[in-house]
Structure formats: structure tokens, C-alpha cells
Structure 1
């Protein structure tokens, strides 16, 4: 991955920090003062953004970038990173993810240490030295004209359906709600008809899993798109075909090693632009609820500059 020297933008304005105190079920909450102190050691003022909801988080990041922040740092999991990326994508403002959530796929996949203190030390060193590294992002556009950026993976199959089910449930709380949602959707499992258009070439497939990755992993280390590279200007598309319940549950653990792509019902593709259509599916990008299908996803080379 190519290292580049930042321009004068890096030395102007404060370092804005978006922190999610509930990320990772709050296990890193007590680390925030130390993380902010280490960032301040880089010799730039540090400004902690105030936000209580995801919408407020995005608005605060947008305002910080518009007000001249020299960098944006996100302390949390993939959801926090996803909110911050909406503000810095396509700009000259460098970005640093501090992995402090349940799933930290984007930070780990782009080379940051999994330990939050070690990661913030990497970011602080890059700030001191004026060093950034560009990587790609994916830009997703919906039929209604809405756009979302994402860094890791968008899910548009069974996993997205499970997330949608879990988000609608009011009981039980915590991880058990997700487990129950899996059981409910497994009982309803059926292949759906998708239309995929890869760099303009259309095909129809019956599938239960569809993922489009800029990075390899989602869901806290599941290598759903194992060969995805966020510096190659391409998106990796993994399609799991007509799985029945038993076969899906037998193959699903293999996703952690990325060996599921060797199963005869799995197909992998690579393209710069991917269009995905199917009825009744809401996508999840970086684990966050995103856009309803159909969507158009485009790889955007060097769309964000990481403090690494």
C-alpha cells in the first residue's frame, strides 16, 4: 500500500473525534480519556464531537469537516466508522479508525492494530509525521437517489434479512435477539431471484447469500469476501446459491477462514461496478442498515486517506 505525504490540510484545524461509548457493549468506555490524551500528544488540538444518535453522529462529523477539522478519528466499531466515513469520503480530510467495538473489520482489514491503544498510537504517529495512505471505498446508490459510502462489506442476502428481523424485534435484548432472528429466518429460508449486473453484464441467479466487499471481512472477522483488496480499485462479489438450511449451517462456519468460496454452490466475481436487484431486501453496509434493493455499487479508488 502506497504511503503519501499529507498536504498542508493535515496541519490546519483540530483533530475531531467521534466516540461511541456503547460500542463493544461499553467494554472500552474507560479508555477514552487515555485515547484522547495520546492523540493530543501528536501536537494538535483535539475536539470530542457530541452525538447521541447515529443521525447526530453523521451530522457532527459533517459539521467538523466543513468547519476545517484537520483529521477525523472514530473510536468504536464498524458502525461508528461507517458514520464517520460519510463525512470524509472523497475529501482531503484524513481518517483514523480506533477499533473499540464488537466488530472492527474495517480497521483490522486496513492494517490497524486490534488493540485500541496501539491503534491510536499509530494514528498519532501519522499525525506527527504528516503521513497518510489512500485506500478505496465503495459508493452505493439507491433507486430513490440516496447514496451511502461503505468501507468493508455490504450484505444483501440471508445476513441482511436476519439483521432486519433482529432490528424489528423488541425481545429478547442483547445477542439472544440476533440468535432468535437467525432461527426464525432459517425456518423461512428460500433462495431469492437476484439480477446482478457486473460492469454492465447482466445475469440472474437464485441465491441465499450475496455480499459485495471492498474489504474481506464482516460480522467481526467473517471472511465473506476473502480475496477483496481495498487498494485494487475493484469490488469482490460472493454469491451463495440454492442452499438448504442444513447445508447453509454446515458451510457458514467456513466463512471465518474464507474457505466457503470453494463450495460448489458459491460463486465469486470481481467488478468495478455492481448492480444488485431483488424483491424485499434491505442491505446492511458495515453492519449498518443501508438502502433497499435495487442498488448500484461503485468502487472509488483512493476515496479516503488513512492515518497509518
Structure 2
């Protein structure tokens, strides 16, 4: 099992910054110069990475780390963080998320301020002091050996199906597309047969929701795995069973408080390794399209060094 311990030394290379100007529909676009200035107060060179697509963003992060970046900072939401994590997971390169997206679950759940400038200040202080602390990540592996890392939550149920539907739709634009996708998938809602293997112990469940959390939240503050702790070396698995449409919509608002786990159709588990199999589902990790089921997810303790 990989373990990365905390370090107290200043980074030797430049601070590479991945920024998504379209995050939160561009709400924080004008804030970027101030964020870069704030990061620059740590006394290290700051280099803004250039990327036009999510795949390019991931590639330039890998290139920056390979070229000797002393730290990587992601300015955006969970999708931007997810792309950056692929480059720094399991390395000694420290990472800082600046929450500037629609969903900022990983940054908030790991203790960063929700205000982007305040978060940049926390990161700059840690850079100046040469301070970082380890947190866990989840590593997912598909049947062909494909790997992805994620920091927050893997969705493998109704929520993932809705995302997949919304991504296939050309109209309407904006949040209405997601709302329409929810209505369309609600009309087709049915429990699916899942095979779960938790630390090697198999079980079959009929469910409409399956989430595997390293952190508690996804979707901009929905506490789907409310007891998840990204420092305990474990994954939290929340399974919502045979919900009908009416019951699911009645329980859904409770996810923001994390009280949905008290519903009799919800089961919670904790494991170091989780295998999930079902027919016809593409998973979403940190809100980003990830791997088709089946997947194996492993908690990797101290896989990331956070600039806090």
C-alpha cells in the first residue's frame, strides 16, 4: 500500500496553476489575476498552465509535474481538481485546490475556505512555510487495467445515469438540461442488480443509488457519504435500495444534510477495497465521466499532500 508522509520543506520548482475560466459559468474569471498575485506572495515563481479542453488540462498537469513543478494548484471546481489529481496522486508534489467552481466538494471537505481568495491565501501560507499534510485518495481500476484517481465521491447509480443522459443531450443548454435529464430518467427508474465486494466479501443488492466516498460530498454540497473521512484509510459505501420515484424524490433533499442514511432503504458500509459491478452503467468520479462498471476502488492512504 502506498503511503506518503507529511513533509515540511519549501518546493524547489515553480508553482504550476491550472485554471478553468469556465468554472461556475465564468463567475470567477475576473478573479484569476488576484489569485495568481496571492499565490505569488509565497515567494515562488507562478506559472499558469494553458489548456483548451479537459484532456489537455490533464496532459499539461502531467507535463508540469514531469518538468519539476514544486507544487500544483487547481483553480476551478471538482472537475478541474479531478484532472489535476491524476498528475499528483502518489507523488511528492504538493497540491492546493482553489474552490472556484459550481461544485467544490473536495476543497471544502478537506478544510479549505469556500472563498477563492481565502483559499489561495491558505495555500500561499503553506508554500511559504514549506508545509503540507497527507490525505487519502481513491484509486479506481477497470477490467482492462485503466486507472483513475478521485478525491471526493464515485457515483455509480441513478446520479451517474442522469449525468450520462445530460451529457448526451444537445438541448437545452445550462442547468435546465440536467433538470430535464432527471425527469427523463425518473420516468425510467428501476432498481438494478449490483454485485458488491467489500474487502473481498461479496453480496448482491437491488439498488437505485450506489456511491463510494473518500470524502462526504458531491454535487455541490450533497452529503451522500456523510461519515466519510479522507484521512482514515477507508472508503464509505452508501447504497440506496429499491426506491420508487416518489420515495426517491422525497428522500433526495435529505442528502444535503446527510440524514438520508437514516432511511430504512439505505445501507452504509466501510471498506478498504470496494468492487462494484452492474450492467450498463458508466461511473462519474468527482463529477467527471470515469470508467464503465465493473470497477475496483481502493483507498490509498496519504496518496496526496495538501497545501494546508
Deviant stretches of 4+, over 4 Å: none
Aligned twin of 1:302: 302
Shift of 1:144: 1.4
Aligned twin of 1:271: 271
Structure 2 CA distance, aligned partners of 1:233 and 1:132? 18
Secondary structure of the 1:131 match is coil
Unpaired segments ≥5 residues, structure 1: none
Secondary structure of the 2:205 match is strand
Structure 2 CA distance, aligned partners of 1:172 and 1:272? 41
Unpaired segments ≥5 residues, structure 2: none
Aligned twin of 1:6: 8
Shift of 1:14: 0.4
RMSD: 1.0
Structure 2 CA distance, aligned partners of 1:76 and 1:34? 14
Aligned twin of 1:233: 233
Aligned twin of 1:38: 38
Structure 1 CA distance, aligned partners of 2:267 and 2:100? 33
TM-score if structure 2 supplies the norm length?
A: 0.98
Render the CA deviation track for 1:167-213: whole Å, top value 9, x for unaligned: 00000000000000000000000000000000000000000000000
Secondary structure of the 1:5 match is coil
Aligned twin of 1:195: 195
Aligned twin of 1:244: 244
Render the CA deviation track for 1:133-162: whole Å, top value 9, x for unaligned: 100000000011110000000000000000
Structure 2 CA distance, aligned partners of 1:229 and 1:11? 27
Aligned twin of 1:165: 165
Secondary structure of the 1:32 match is helix
Structure 2 CA distance, aligned partners of 1:4 and 1:113? 21
Shift of 1:4: 3.7
Shift of 1:12: 1.0
Aligned twin of 1:118: 118
Shift of 1:11: 2.6
Aligned twin of 2:68: 68
Structure 2 CA distance, aligned partners of 1:144 and 1:178? 30
Render the CA deviation track for 1:267-294: whole Å, top value 9, x for unaligned: 0000000000000000000000000000
Aligned twin of 1:58: 58
Aligned pairs, how many? 305
Shift of 1:6: 2.8
Aligned twin of 2:47: 47
Structure 1 CA distance, aligned partners of 2:300 and 2:133? 15
Structure 1 CA distance, aligned partners of 2:38 and 2:112? 16
Secondary structure of the 1:228 match is coil
Shift of 1:95: 0.1
Structure 2 CA distance, aligned partners of 1:24 and 1:33? 17
Structure 1 CA distance, aligned partners of 2:130 and 2:6? 9
